[in-house]
Amino acid sequence: MSNKYTEDDLREELKTKEYEYGFYTDIESETFPNGLNEDIVRAISKKKEEPEWMTEWRLEAFKIWKEMTEPEWANVHYQKPDFQGISYYSAPNSKPKYDSIDEVDPELLATFEKLGISLDEQKKLAGVAMDVVVDSVSVATTFKKTLGEKGIIFMSISEAIKEHPELVKKYLGTVVPQKDNFYAALNSAVFSDGSFCYIPKGVRCPMELSTYFRINQAGTGQFERTLVIADEGSYVSYLEGCTAPSRDENQLHAAVVELIALDDAEIKYSTVQNWYPGNAEGKGGVFNFVTKRGLCEKNAKISWTQVETGSAVTWKYPSCVLKGDNSVGEFYSIAVTNNYQQADTGTKMIHLGKNTKSTIISKGISAGKSQNSYRGLVQISSRADNARNFSQCDSLLMGNDCGAHTFPYIEVKNKSAQIEHEATTSKIGEDQIFYCNQRGIDTEKAIALIVNGFSKEVLNKLPMEFAVEAQKLLEISLEGSVG
Amino acid sequence: MDLKDKLVSSFMAFENTVDVDAAVHDVRSEALKSFEDKGFPSKRDEAWKYTSLNSVLKHDYSVFPKQENALEYSDVKKYFIHDIDSYKIVFIDGKYSSHLSQTTHDGIDVCLMSSALSKPKYQLIIENYFNKAATKDGLSSLNTAFSQEGAYVHIPKNKIVEKPIQIIHFSTGNESALMLQPRNLIVVDENSHVQIMERHQSLTDNPVLTNSVTEIFTNKRAIVDYYKLQNDKPTASLIDHTFIKQKRESHASVHTFSFGGQLTRNNLNFYQEGERIDSTLKGVTIIGEKQHVDHNTLVHHIEPNCESHQDYKGIFSDKSTGVFNGKVVVDKIAQKTNAFQANNNILLSDKASINTKPQLEIFADDVKCSHGCTIGQLDDSAMFYMRSRGIPEKEAKALLMFAFSNNVLDSVKIPEIKQRITKIIATKLGVDIGFDL
pLDDT digits (tens, 9 = 90+) for A125-151: 334 455 555 544 444 455 666 777 888
Interface subset of B 349-408, CB within 8 angstroms of A: 349-377
pLDDT band at A325 (very low <50, low <70, confident <90, very high): very high
Name every chain B residue with its beta carbon within 8 A of the beta carbon of A413.
350, 352-353
Q: Residue B54: is it exposed, middle or buried by C-beta count within 10 angstroms (0-12/13-18/19+)? A: exposed
Please report the pLDDT score of residue A337 as a whole number. Answer: 86
Give the rounded percent of residues in chain A with a pLDDT score beyond 90: 21
**Helix, strand, coil distribution of chain B in percent, nearest 5:** 25, 40, 40
Count of A-B CB contacts under 8 Å: 114
Q: What whole-number distance in Å separates Cα of residue A471 and Cα of residue A448? A: 10
pLDDT band at A98 (very low <50, low <70, confident <90, very high): very low
Per-residue model confidence as pLDDT tens digits over A164-177: 989 998 998 899 88
- Do the chains contact at A418 and B376, CB–CB below 8 Å? yes
Touching check for B43 and chain A: CB below 8 Å?
no
Angle at A450 between CA A377 and CA A406, to 5 degrees: 20
With CA atoms as reference, report the closest residue to B216 among B226, B229, B208: B226
Name every chain A residue with its beta carbon within 8 A of the beta carbon of B361.
403, 405-406
Least confident of A77-91, A190-204, B162-176, B264-278: A77-91
**Least CB-CB distance to B357: which of A73, A397, A409?**
A409
Q: How far is B376 from chain A (nearest CA, A)?
A: 5
Please report the pLDDT score of residue A97 as a whole number. Answer: 41
| In chain A, domain spans | 7-478
With CA atoms as reference, report the closest residue to B89 among B119, B109, B69: B109
Touching check for B423 and chain A: CB below 8 Å?
no
Q: How far is B176 from chain A (nearest CA, A)?
A: 35
Touching check for B338 and chain A: CB below 8 Å?
no
Mutate to test the interface with A, among B316, B320, B360, B371 (most CBs of A within 10 A): B360
Name every chain A residue with its beta carbon within 8 A of the beta carbon of B356.
409-410
Higher pLDDT, A56 or A70: A56
- Do the chains contact at B367 and A412, CB–CB below 8 Å? no
DSSP state of A126: I
For CA atoms A32, A33, A36, A37, give the dihedral sign.
negative
Mean pLDDT over residues A224-251, rounded? Answer: 77
- Do the chains contact at B360 and A411, CB–CB below 8 Å? no
Q: How far is B243 from chain A (nearest CA, A)?
A: 23
- Do the chains contact at B377 and A416, CB–CB below 8 Å? yes
Mutate to test the interface with B, among A365, A370, A406, A427 (most CBs of B within 10 A): A406
Mutate to test the interface with B, among A410, A422, A426 (most CBs of B within 10 A): A410
pLDDT value at A24 more than 80: no
Contacts of B91 (CB under 8 A, 6+ apart): B97, B149, B150, B168, B169, B170, B182
Residue of B nearest to A383 (CA): B350
- Do the chains contact at A420 and B351, CB–CB below 8 Å? no
Question: How far apart, in Å, are the Cα atoms of A459 and each of A393, A454, A480?
Answer: 15, 10, 20
Please report the pLDDT score of residue A240 as a whole number. Answer: 80
Cα maximum dimension of chain A: 73
For every residue of B131-150, DSSP letters joined together read TSSS--SHHHHHHHHT---S
Name every chain B residue with its beta carbon within 8 A of the beta carbon of A398.
365
Other C-beta atoms within 10 Å of A460: how many? Answer: 10
Q: What whole-number distance in Å separates Cα of residue A81 and Cα of residue A63? A: 19
Name every chain B residue with its beta carbon within 8 A of the beta carbon of A423.
358, 360, 370-372
Cα maximum dimension of chain B: 72
Given a contact cutoff of 8 angstroms between Cβ atoms, the answer to whether B100 and B90 are in contact is yes
- Do the chains contact at A410 and B354, CB–CB below 8 Å? yes
Question: How far apart, in Å, are the Cα atoms of B86 and each of B92, B163, B196, B256?
Answer: 19, 5, 10, 20
- Do the chains contact at A427 and B350, CB–CB below 8 Å? no
Name every chain A residue with its beta carbon within 8 A of the beta carbon of B368.
424-426
Please report the pLDDT score of residue A118 as a whole number. Answer: 47
Q: What whole-number distance in Å separates Cα of residue B122 and Cα of residue B133? A: 18
**Which residues of A touch chain B, with CB atoms under 8 Å apart?**
73, 382, 395, 397-427, 483
Given a contact cutoff of 8 angstroms between Cβ atoms, the answer to whether B233 and B205 are in contact is yes
Global confidence as pTM: 0.81
- Range list of β-strands (E), B219-306: 223-230, 236-246, 251-258, 263-272, 278-287, 292-301
Name every chain B residue with its beta carbon within 8 A of the beta carbon of A425.
360, 362, 367-370
Name every chain A residue with its beta carbon within 8 A of the beta carbon of B358.
406, 408, 421, 423
Residue of A nearest to B348 (CA): A415
Per-residue model confidence as pLDDT tens digits over B370-405: 888 888 888 889 999 999 999 888 888 888 888 888
Angle at A327 between CA A325 and CA A332, to 5 degrees: 155
Name every chain A residue with its beta carbon within 8 A of the beta carbon of B353.
382, 411-413
pLDDT value at A349 more than 90: yes
Gyration radius of chain B over CA positions: 21
Higher pLDDT, A115 or B175: B175
Amino acid at B259: F
Q: What whole-number distance in Å separates Cα of residue B151 and Cα of residue B91? A: 9
Given a contact cutoff of 8 angstroms between Cβ atoms, the answer to whether B383 and B351 are in contact is no
Please report the pLDDT score of residue A143 as a whole number. Answer: 64
**Least CB-CB distance to A412: which of B46, B368, B375?**
B375
Per-residue model confidence as pLDDT tens digits over B17-55: 777 777 788 888 888 888 888 888 888 888 888 888 888
Q: What whole-number distance in Å separates Cα of residue A347 and Cα of residue A320? A: 8
For every residue of A222-268, DSSP letters joined together read B-BEEEEEE-TT-EEEEEEEEE----SS-EEE--EEEEEE-TT-EEE
Given a contact cutoff of 8 angstroms between Cβ atoms, the answer to whether A165 and A148 are in contact is no
- Do the chains contact at B374 and A420, CB–CB below 8 Å? yes
Mean pLDDT over residues A297-310, rounded? Answer: 90
Q: How far is A266 from chain B (nearest CA, A)?
A: 28
For CA atoms A171, A175, A180, A181, give the dihedral sign.
negative
Q: What whole-number distance in Å separates Cα of residue A246 and Cα of residue A227? A: 29
Phi, psi of B37 (to 5 degrees): -65, -50
Other C-beta atoms within 10 Å of A94: how many? Answer: 17
Q: What whole-number distance in Å separates Cα of residue B69 and Cα of residue B273? A: 42
Touching check for B44 and chain A: CB below 8 Å?
no
- Do the chains contact at A397 and B365, CB–CB below 8 Å? yes
Please report the pLDDT score of residue A478 as a whole number. Answer: 63
Give the rounded percent of residues in chain A with a pLDDT score beyond 70: 74
Mean pLDDT over residues A23-37, rounded? Answer: 62
Name every chain B residue with its beta carbon within 8 A of the beta carbon of A362.
none
Q: Return the SS3 of A41.
A: helix
Name every chain A residue with its beta carbon within 8 A of the beta carbon of B364.
397, 400
On whether ipTM exceeds 0.85, the answer is no
Q: What whole-number distance in Å separates Cα of residue A331 and Cα of residue A359? A: 6
Per-residue model confidence as pLDDT tens digits over A180-222: 888 888 888 888 778 888 999 999 988 777 765 544 444 445 7
Mean pLDDT score of chain A: 78
- Do the chains contact at B376 and A404, CB–CB below 8 Å? no
Name every chain B residue with its beta carbon within 8 A of the beta carbon of A412.
345, 347, 353-355, 375
Amino acid at A450: I
Please report the pLDDT score of residue A317 as a whole number. Answer: 92
Element (H, E) at A335: strand A328-337
pLDDT value at A265 more than 60: yes
Given a contact cutoff of 8 angstroms between Cβ atoms, the answer to whether A340 and A287 are in contact is no
